[in-house]
C-alpha cells in the first residue's frame, strides 16, 4: 500500500511536469507569435462618442455613440488623478516593467485546478485587456496574451503615455468610458478641473463600477458605505506612496451627481433636443463627410456620428431653446399645455431671418420618436410629418396676390358656395361678417375668411392661379407639401408648381388644406420677415474632430456653415404683407409686450371631414429679429379632436397664441422694437370678384308732403325787406329775378367776385 501511494505521487508529479512542459511550450510559441505580430494600441482606433453642442459651444444638446468616450491628453489629466488611479489599481506602476508575474502564475494555477479565476493585473495589463477585443475573456490564454502585450507596451511607451491610454479606455460606470466622460458624468466638470477628493472617487470606481450578483459595486449612488471605504483606501495609498501628505489629504467625501442629473443623462438622443440629430446627419451628407444612402466610397453618417468622436456646434440658442421647451412641452410643469388633455401635442420652430439659423426647435420629447416639427419616415419608408396649416397658409396666398399686382384694397365675394356642387367652401363658421360680397383682401385676411382666398387662387376669371401660390410658398421656404387623398409628398424644390397643382394641390391650397412641416412654415415666415431675402434654415455651424496625436480639435475639411442668401421675393410685396399681418396678433390675444409690433396669423383645420372640432391649430408670426411657428395637434390618431381641459374647442387664438406670445416675449427681451410697414394699397384695387351693394334709397321725408306739420322744422319767418331794384343778367338775385316776387335770397351780388364752388 505504501509503494502504491508512492507510485501515485510520482505519477502525479510526472503528469504535472508534463502539463508544465506543454504549457511552457505553448507559452513560448505564443510569446514568439505575439511578439512579432501584435499591433500596438496606437494603431487601434477606439470608438469615440460624438457631442452635439448648442451655439455657445458649451451646452450639450445630445451625445451619440455606443460608448460615451472622449479622448484627452495626459497634460489635461491632473497629476493627483493619475496618482489616485495608481494607488487604487497598481501601486507599483511606476516601478515594474508592465507585468505582474505572480498574478499571472496565480491565475494560471486557479484556471488549471478549477479554482476561482483571479487577476492582480497591472494598469498596463488592464489597458491591453480593454483596448483589444480578443482579450475580453477570462482564461489562462488571455493572461499570456495580456502579459506579452503589456511587456511590449512597456518597452515602447513611457509610463505617462500608458497612463494616458489607460485613462482614456477604462470604464467608470453610468455609461462613461474614459476619465473625461467620467468627470462629466459624476461631477459635471472636465477632467482637468477634478479635485483631489473627486479624483479619488473616480479611482475607487474602477475596481467595480457596476453592481454584480455578489457585490453592489462602488457607485456612491448605489453603495455609499463601500464607496467611501474604497475612497479611504485610495487616499491611504496616495499617502503611503508619498503623493499626498496628511495635511493635503481631503477629509470630506465630495458631493457626487445623482444618475438622473449626471452628464450621462444627456448621452443619446432621448431628449427634446435630440430631434436635431436628423438634421445634423443631413447636413453632414450635404457637406460630403458621409452618406445616409450608402453612397460608394463614403462612410455611413450613422457610423460616423456613433464612433467618429465629432464635436458639432449647432445653431440652437440655449436660452431660446429653454424658453421654447418651457412654453411648449406638454409634460413640463408651468408650460402652457401642462394639465391639458394627454392627447395634445405641440411643436415650435424659431429661426433667425437674417441668417437662417434655427434658434429653437421642439418637436417632441425624444429624437428617437416621431418629430412633430419636421420630416419623418413612416413604416413604408415614405416621408411624412406635415400638418394642415389652415388659415396660417394665407400669408403665402396674400403675398402671391400682391406679387401679381392685386391690391389688398381689392374687393372679393366672401359668401359660401360649392365650387363642385358638392363640397361647400365656407368661412369656418364666421359667415361673411358685414362685408358679404364686398370684402377687401385686407379685411378677408384679418377676419380670416376662406372664400375670398379660394377665389384669389382660382384659375379663371380674376384669380391668379394655384401655381402662383405654390411658387411664392416655395420661394419663401416651403419645400414639401402633402396631398390628402393619397398622402403623397410633393417636393416643391424639384416638382414644378404647375405639375404639383395638377397632381392634387387644388384651390383649397389657398387657405391651408394640404399639410406642411412646422420647420418649413417657420422658414417661410423668416423669408417674409427678412423682406424677401431667403436664407435656408439650417442647424450646423461647424464640425470638428480631434487630432489623436495632439489632442487639438480641428475643423473637418469641407464642413462649416454655408450661407447663400437669395432675394426671392419682392421687398415691396413682403412689406405690404407685413402691413396687413401686423393687425392680427392684437385681436387674437397675442399682442407682444411693450407695444412691440409683430406680424402674425392664426390657423385651424378640422379634425375629421365635417367635424366641428379642430384637429390642427396654429399661431405663426415674426418680427425682423425672429420668425416662429407654433402648432398644436393630437398625438393620438384615435382621438384627433383638440378639446381643452374646459371642454372648449382649441383654435389658433387659444393655446397656440399663448405659446407663441410667451416664447416671443421672452426671446425678444433686449431686442430693438422695430416698426413694421403700413399698408399702402399698392396694386390694382379693381381686381376681384366682389359685388358692390346698391346704395340704399334715402328714407322718405314726411315733411316734404306736409310742410305745415307742427313736428317738422319750420323756415324762420324773414323780416319784411324794402323793395329793391332788379338787375338783369343775374338770375336768382334778390327778389327772385323773375318778377314773381318772394324768393329766398342766395343770389350773387354784382359786386361780389364769383366762387368756383359756392357749396
- Report the distance separating Cα 429 and Cα 241, nearest Å: 84
Residue identified by cell 464612433 is 307
Closest CA to 599 of 573, 565, 627, 572: 627
The residues annotated as belonging to the active site are 89, 391
Closest CA to 582 of 440, 445, 416: 445
- Report the distance separating Cα 30 and Cα 20, nearest Å: 15
- Report the distance separating Cα 657 and Cα 621, nearest Å: 10
Rounded to whole angstroms, the maximal C-alpha distance in the chain is 179
- Report the distance separating Cα 294 and Cα 273, nearest Å: 26
Per DSSP, helices labelled H in 140-287 are 140-156, 159-169, 179-187, 196-205, 224-240, 276-286
Residue identified by cell 475580453 is 136
- C-alpha distances out from residue 658 to 21, 590, 704, Å: 83, 7, 59
The strand ranges marked E within 591-718 are 599-606, 614-622, 627-634
Closest CA to 476 of 376, 403, 556, 378: 403
- Report the distance separating Cα 680 and Cα 697, nearest Å: 33
List residues bridging with 534 in a β-sheet.
566
Phi and psi at 449, nearest 5°, equal -80, 135
CA angle 192, 554, 176 (to 5 degrees): 45
List residues bridging with 634 in a β-sheet.
344
- C-alpha distances out from residue 478 to 169, 523, 524, 529, 756, Å: 47, 7, 6, 15, 59
Angle (deg, nearest 10), helices 466-476 and 518-529: 80
- The continuous run of DSSP H or E covering 533 comes out as strand 533-534
Length of the chain: 759
- Report the distance separating Cα 547 and Cα 531, nearest Å: 43
Amino acid at each position: 500500500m505504501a509503494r502504491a501511494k508512492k507510485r501515485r505521487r510520482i505519477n502525479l508529479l510526472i503528469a504535472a511536469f508534463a502539463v508544465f512542459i506543454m504549457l511552457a511550450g505553448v507559452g513560448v510559441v505564443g510569446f514568439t507569435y505575439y511578439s512579432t505580430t501584435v499591433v500596438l494600441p496606437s494603431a487601434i482606433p477606439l470608438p469615440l462618442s460624438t457631442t452635439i453642442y448648442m451655439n455657445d459651444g458649451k451646452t450639450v444638446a445630445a451625445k451619440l455613440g455606443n460608448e460615451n468616450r472622449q479622448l484627452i491628453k495626459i497634460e489635461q489629466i491632473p497629476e493627483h488623478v493619475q496618482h489616485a488611479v495608481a494607488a487604487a489599481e497598481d501601486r507599483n506602476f511606476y516601478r515594474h516593467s508592465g507585468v505582474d508575474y505572480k498574478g499571472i502564475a496565480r491565475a494560471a494555477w486557479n484556471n488549471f485546478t478549477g479554482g476561482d479565476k483571479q487577476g492582480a493585473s497591472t494598469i498596463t495589463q488592464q489597458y491591453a485587456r480593454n483596448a483589444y477585443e480578443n482579450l475580453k475573456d477570462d482564461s489562462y490564454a488571455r493572461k499570456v496574451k495580456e502579459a506579452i502585450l503589456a511587456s511590449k507596451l512597456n518597452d515602447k511607451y513611457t509610463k505617462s503615455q500608458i497612463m494616458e491610454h489607460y485613462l482614456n479606455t477604462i470604464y467608470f460606470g453610468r455609461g462613461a468610458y474614459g476619465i473625461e466622460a467620467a468627470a462629466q458624468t459624476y461631477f459635471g466638470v472636465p477632467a482637468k478641473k477634478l479635485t483631489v477628493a473627486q479624483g479619488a472617487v473616480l479611482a475607487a470606481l474602477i475596481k467595480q463600477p457596476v453592481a454584480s450578483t455578489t457585490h453592489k459595486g462602488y457607485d456612491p449612488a448605489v453603495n455609499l458605505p463601500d464607496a467611501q471605504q474604497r475612497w479611504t483606501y485610495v487616499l491611504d495609498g496616495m499617502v503611503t506612496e508619498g503623493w499626498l501628505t496628511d495635511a493635503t489629504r481631503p477629509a470630506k467625501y465630495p458631493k457626487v451627481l445623482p444618475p438622473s442629473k449626471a452628464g450621462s443623462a444627456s448621452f443619446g438622443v432621448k431628449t427634446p433636443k435630440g430631434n436635431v440629430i436628423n438634421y445634423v446627419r443631413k447636413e453632414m451628407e450635404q457637406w460630403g463627410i458621409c452618406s445616409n444612402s450608402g453612397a460608394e466610397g463614403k462612410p455611413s453618417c450613422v457610423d460616423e456620428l456613433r464612433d467618429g468622436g465629432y464635436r458639432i456646434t449647432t445653431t440652437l440658442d440655449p436660452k431660446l431653446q429653454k424658453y421654447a421647451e418651457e412654453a411648449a412641452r406638454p409634460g413640463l410643469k408651468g408650460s402652457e399645455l401642462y394639465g391639458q388633455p394627454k392627447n395634445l401635442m405641440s411643436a415650435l420652430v424659431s429661426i433667425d431671418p437674417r441668417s437662417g439659423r434655427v434658434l429653437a426647435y421642439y418637436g417632441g420629447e425624444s429624437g428617437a420618436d416621431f418629430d412633430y416639427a419636421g420630416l419623418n419616415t413612416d413604416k413604408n419608408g415614405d416621408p411624412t410629418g406635415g400638418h394642415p396649416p389652415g388659415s396660417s397658409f394665407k400669408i403665402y396666398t396674400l403675398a402671391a396676390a400682391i406679387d401679381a399686382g392685386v391690391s389688398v384694397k381689392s374687393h372679393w365675394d366672401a359668401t359660401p358656395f360649392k365650387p363642385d356642387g358638392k363640397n361647400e367652401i365656407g368661412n369656418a363658421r364666421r359667415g361673411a361678417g358685414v362685408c358679404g360680397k364686398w370684402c377687401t383682401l385686407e379685411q378677408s385676411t384679418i377676419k380670416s375668411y376662406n372664400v375670398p382666398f379660394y377665389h384669389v387662387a382660382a384659375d379663371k376669371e380674376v384669380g391668379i392661379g394655384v401655381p402662383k401660390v405654390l411658387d411664392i410658398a416655395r420661394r419663401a421656404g416651403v419645400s414639401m407639401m402633402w396631398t390628402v387623398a393619397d398622402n403623397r409628398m410633393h417636393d416643391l424644390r424639384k416638382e414644378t408648381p404647375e405639375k404639383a397643382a395638377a397632381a392634387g394641390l387644388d384651390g383649397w391650397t389657398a387657405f391651408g388644406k394640404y399639410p406642411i412641416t412646422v420647420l418649413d412654415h417657420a422658414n417661410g415666415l423668416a423669408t417674409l420677415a427678412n423682406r424677401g431675402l431667403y436664407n435656408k434654415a439650417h442647424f450646423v455651424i461647424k464640425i470638428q474632430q480631434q487630432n489623436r496625436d495632439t489632442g487639438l480639435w480641428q475643423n473637418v475639411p469641407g464642413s462649416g456653415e454655408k450661407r447663400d442668401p437669395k432675394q426671392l421675393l419682392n421687398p415691396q410685396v413682403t412689406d405690404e404683407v407685413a402691413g396687413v399681418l401686423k393687425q392680427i396678433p392684437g385681436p387674437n390675444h397675442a399682442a407682444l409686450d411693450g407695444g412691440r409690433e409683430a406680424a402674425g396669423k392664426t390657423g385651424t383645420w378640422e379634425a375629421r371631414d365635417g367635424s366641428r372640432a379642430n384637429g390642427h391649430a396654429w399661431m405663426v408670426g415674426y418680427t425682423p429679429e425672429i420668425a416662429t411657428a407654433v402648432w398644436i395637434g393630437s398625438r393620438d390618431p384615435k382621438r384627433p379632436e383638440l378639446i381643452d381641459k374646459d371642454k372648449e374647442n382649441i383654435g389658433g387664438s387659444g393655446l397656440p397664441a399663448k405659446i407663441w406670445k410667451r416664447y416671443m416675449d421672452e426671446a425678444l427681451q433686449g431686442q430693438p422694437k422695430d416698426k413694421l410697414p403700413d399698408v399702402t394699397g399698392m396694386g390694382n384695387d379693381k381686381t376681384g370678384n366682389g359685388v358692390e351693394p346698391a346704395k340704399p334709397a334715402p328714407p322718405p321725408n314726411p315733411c316734404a308732403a306736409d310742410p305745415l306739420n307742427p313736428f317738422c322744422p319750420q323756415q324762420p319767418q324773414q323780416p319784411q325787406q324794402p323793395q329793391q331794384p332788379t338787375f338783369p343778367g343775374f338770375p336768382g338775385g334778390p327778389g327772385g329775378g323773375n318778377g314773381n316776387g318772394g324768393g329766398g335770397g342766395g343770389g350773387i351780388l354784382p359786386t361780389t367776385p364769383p366762387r368756383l364752388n359756392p357749396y
